[in-house]
Chains A and B, each alone.
Chain A
Amino acid sequence: MKKPLPWHIVVFLAPALLIYAVFSAWPLIDTLRLGFYTTSETGSQHFAWLANYQMLLFDSDWSESFWNAMGNNVRFFLVHMLIQNPLGLLLAALLSMRGVRGAKVYQTVLFLPTLLSVVIIGFIWQLILSPLWGVSETILTAIGLADWFQPWLGQEETALYTLSMMSVWQFVGIPMMLIYAALIAIPDEIIEAAVVEGASAWRIFWTIRVPLILPTLGLVTILTFVGNFNAFDLIYSVKGAMAGPSYSTDILGTYFYRAFFGYQSQLGSATLGAAVATLMFLVILAGVGVYFFFVQRKLQRFSF
């Protein structure tokens, strides 16, 4: 006898599937499609194979700034990996120690910037760092380091790192919370057994806790990667779509914005923008792919 179609499953899946298809899958597929088209002067679009990609990757007008944005984005990511995530781990480790006074308060305070709007973050930091009326110079003068003050947001050498640090300040709460949740989930018996065996706190941390939270560290890494390569708002709110000085803070998000929407007298092109978006998608896909095939699989053996 033929099994009847499990209608109830279809009915239960349909709403989620529909929303996913309409708002996620279809726009993505259409973006991929649009990347193969070009726009003519009269606004009509026609199929052009890989013309957009050839322009983005091999025409020096576009490719130089594309690789510049890519390089900056990698640096932006590295700052987060080297500062934000270790800092999140450190804070989580401190907070998960027994008997920390006011741990909840610290948690809340450290997580608070994450809840603020990027526009506010950008504005506050611009004020703090302003060479004209910012408090940073006053503070540095008070501790005798007035000579160290620089217009950090205005220099080609420092602007990107300053912005990265602003972003770290804002988002450090997320790795902290994720790692904290993983740390307190480690069963007490394991730690107690180690203490009885005479292991130092340092040794317990590195040989017991860290291996047990590796899957979470992996997750934090991938979230940072995806978040950083999709970043746009902070740069845009502080430096605008031109990502100055001399494109030194240009990342893929701002590069995409200029290609898609245009800027000033540069006309935007939806098709070229779609090609940039596709490249960004591929970069992120590759990163996530590497993570899943080479890291995630190994990690699973450690988890309990």
Chain B
Amino acid sequence: MKNIRLTQGALIAAMLAAGAAQAGTLTIESWRVDDKGLWEDVLIPAFQKKNPGIQVKFSPTAPTEYDSALQARLNGGTAGDLITCRPFDKSLDLYKKGNLEKLDGKPGMQNFPASAKVAWQTDDGKDTFCMPMASVIHGFFYNKKVFKDLNLQPPKTIDDLHKVSDAVLKAGKTPLALGTADQWESSQIVFTGIGPNFWKGEEGRKALIAGKAKFTDPQYVAAWEEMSKWGPYLAKGYSAQTYGDTQNLFASGRAAMVAAGSWDIGYYNQQGVDFGAFPPPVAKAGDKCFISDHTDLGLGVNNKSKNKADAQKFLEWVASQEFADLYTNKVTGFFSLSNHLIAVKDPVAKQMIDWRKTCGSTIRLNAQILNRGEPNMETELWTVNSAVLNGKLTPKAAAERIQNGFAKWYKPAK
């Protein structure tokens, strides 16, 4: 009897010891629920081949709950070791609260260009707190079959876009799949997607931050002007059309074009659509084009992590050629931000990343600094842009509302 007790005791002790060894598991916090399989089947095994013995767990939370859930876990000290960073202020806020570790000079960081790091730096650019992981590019997809049947070419200028749309409309199909029920598309895909061509990308974005331009200036109002003309090109009842409806509409071939982002490539490939991409059209033929090449995902280290050494090893691997290649080609439509040269295999993804060669890259207009005050510009833009597309707000009124809200709290740095 006593012996059995001893064996039991020994067993429990052994299990506890094993448990302690297991405590070295690295947990990754993320909102990319869709990528769970990919992390577990491809990325983590690839990492473990290089670094045997380090257990990694990918633990995603739904995107709408991610920020609040993460904050709660960070406060309670139960958050994962590696934290997927939203760009700009959400992560800056975490850094200011001391939740994220400073990463400057850490191995791997040298593999990223300065422009990629901006999204995860303090305003003075002195501290970097997340490693850039991926960006998404905004643009339009078109259904190759519909375009061929109607003998159309992907539009290059705004005029082309209207001509193409009119032709599709005449043929009895929906020219552009886009809905305003979920509101975010109106802002993130449409306004900040087509807008850079009007406000000249970074130039227009920085002018707003510097206080040299106002939203009521013609280059910004022009973007709203263009959007206000889109109503007739959208599906009937588009004000109640959700993003899922939009995806179905384009995938089923009922719409000729869709305002989308590179993250949708995987979905449409899966649906078996034969499609191509074109960048947001420019005002006049020959104008320089600008694209929204939005730095969307970063990876940071939890300041309270017990496995910082392992977390660093993982980050180092994230900065490697291997990760860049795997991520870009397996998570179609998310483009690695590192300096490594990668061959993009998917034809549409390749098309989109090649825009970087001819067009100027910028990020979403309001992503940096402008979202900081009250009223919050991101939510205001969702509302206003949807209202403009719905024909409920004139471009001028939209510009005034955004500018007034902005001027209320923003004092540009001298």
- Answer yes or no: are A and B bound together in one complex: yes
Residues of A within 8 A of B (CB): 41-43, 61-62, 126, 129-133, 149-156, 239-242, 244-247, 258, 261-268
B383 contacts A152, C-beta separation under 8 Å? no
A132 contacts B237, C-beta separation under 8 Å? yes
Which of A126, A241, A267 has the most chain B CB atoms inside 10 A of its CB?
A267
A242 contacts B235, C-beta separation under 8 Å? no
B98 partner residues in chain A, CB cutoff 8 A: 42
A245 contacts B180, C-beta separation under 8 Å? yes
A154 contacts B376, C-beta separation under 8 Å? no
Residues of B within 8 A of A (CB): 64, 67-68, 71, 75, 88-90, 93, 96-98, 179-184, 235-242, 245, 248-249, 367, 371, 374-379, 382-383, 386-387, 390, 392, 405, 408
Q: If the complex has contacts A156-B392, A265-B371, A265-B378, are A247 and B383 also in contact, measured as CB distance less than 8 A?
A: yes
A246 contacts B96, C-beta separation under 8 Å? no
Q: Is the interface of A mostly helix, strand, loop or mixed?
A: loop
Q: B255 to chain A: closest CB distance in Å?
A: 10
B238 contacts A131, C-beta separation under 8 Å? yes
The 6 closest A-B pairs by CB, nearest first: A131-B237, A154-B239, A154-B240, A151-B237, A151-B240, A266-B376
B245 contacts A130, C-beta separation under 8 Å? yes
Please give 18 more A-B residue pairs, beta carbons under 8 A apart, in addition to A43-B75, A264-B376, A265-B377: A41-B93, A61-B375, A62-B374, A131-B240, A131-B241, A132-B248, A242-B183, A242-B379, A244-B382, A245-B183, A245-B239, A245-B383, A246-B387, A265-B90, A265-B367, A266-B371, A267-B93, A268-B67
B93 contacts A153, C-beta separation under 8 Å? no
A130 contacts B240, C-beta separation under 8 Å? yes
List 29 interface pairs A-B (beta carbons < 8 Å), by A numbering: A41-B96, A42-B96, A42-B97, A61-B405, A62-B374, A130-B237, A130-B241, A131-B236, A131-B237, A133-B245, A151-B238, A151-B240, A154-B179, A154-B239, A155-B239, A155-B240, A242-B382, A242-B383, A244-B180, A244-B183, A245-B181, A245-B183, A245-B386, A246-B383, A246-B386, A247-B383, A264-B184, A267-B89, A268-B67
Question: Closest A-chain residue to B74, C-beta based?
Answer: A43
Q: If the complex has contacts A130-B240, A154-B237, are A244 and B386 also in contact, measured as CB distance less than 8 A?
A: yes
Q: A123 to chain B: closest CB distance in Å?
A: 10
Residue in contact with A246 in the complex, picked from B248, B371, B392, CB distance below 8 Å: B392
Residue in contact with A131 in the complex, picked from B68, B96, B183, B235, CB distance below 8 Å: B235
Question: Closest A-chain residue to B393, C-beta based?
Answer: A246
Q: A31 to chain B: closest CB distance in Å?
A: 17
Q: A8 to chain B: closest CB distance in Å?
A: 40
A153 contacts B68, C-beta separation under 8 Å? no
B248 partner residues in chain A, CB cutoff 8 A: 132-133
Q: If the complex has contacts A245-B392, A268-B68, are A153 and B240 also in contact, measured as CB distance less than 8 A?
A: yes
B67 contacts A262, C-beta separation under 8 Å? yes
Q: A292 to chain B: closest CB distance in Å?
A: 36
A239 partner residues in chain B, CB cutoff 8 A: 181
Q: A7 to chain B: closest CB distance in Å?
A: 39
A245 contacts B378, C-beta separation under 8 Å? no
B249 partner residues in chain A, CB cutoff 8 A: 132
Question: Closest B-chain residue to A155, C-beta based?
Answer: B239
**A159-B205 Cα distance, complex, nearest whole Å:** 35
Q: If the complex has contacts A240-B182, A265-B89, A266-B376, are A150 and B237 also in contact, measured as CB distance less than 8 A?
A: yes
A264 contacts B378, C-beta separation under 8 Å? yes
**A58-B238 Cα distance, complex, nearest whole Å:** 36
B71 partner residues in chain A, CB cutoff 8 A: 268
B377 partner residues in chain A, CB cutoff 8 A: 265
B237 contacts A244, C-beta separation under 8 Å? no
Which of A42, A149, A262 has the most chain B CB atoms inside 10 A of its CB?
A262
B379 contacts A154, C-beta separation under 8 Å? no
B96 partner residues in chain A, CB cutoff 8 A: 41-42
Q: B77 to chain A: closest CB distance in Å?
A: 14
Which of B241, B379, B386, B405 has the most chain A CB atoms inside 10 A of its CB?
B379
Q: If the complex has contacts A43-B97, A242-B383, are A154 and B374 also in contact, measured as CB distance less than 8 A?
A: no
Q: A241 to chain B: closest CB distance in Å?
A: 8
**A131-B242 Cα distance, complex, nearest whole Å:** 10
Q: A243 to chain B: closest CB distance in Å?
A: 10
Question: Closest A-chain residue to B409, C-beta based?
Answer: A61
B371 partner residues in chain A, CB cutoff 8 A: 265-266
A245 partner residues in chain B, CB cutoff 8 A: 180-181, 183, 239, 383, 386-387, 390, 392
B376 partner residues in chain A, CB cutoff 8 A: 264-266
A151 partner residues in chain B, CB cutoff 8 A: 236-241
Q: B244 to chain A: closest CB distance in Å?
A: 9
**A225-B86 Cα distance, complex, nearest whole Å:** 40
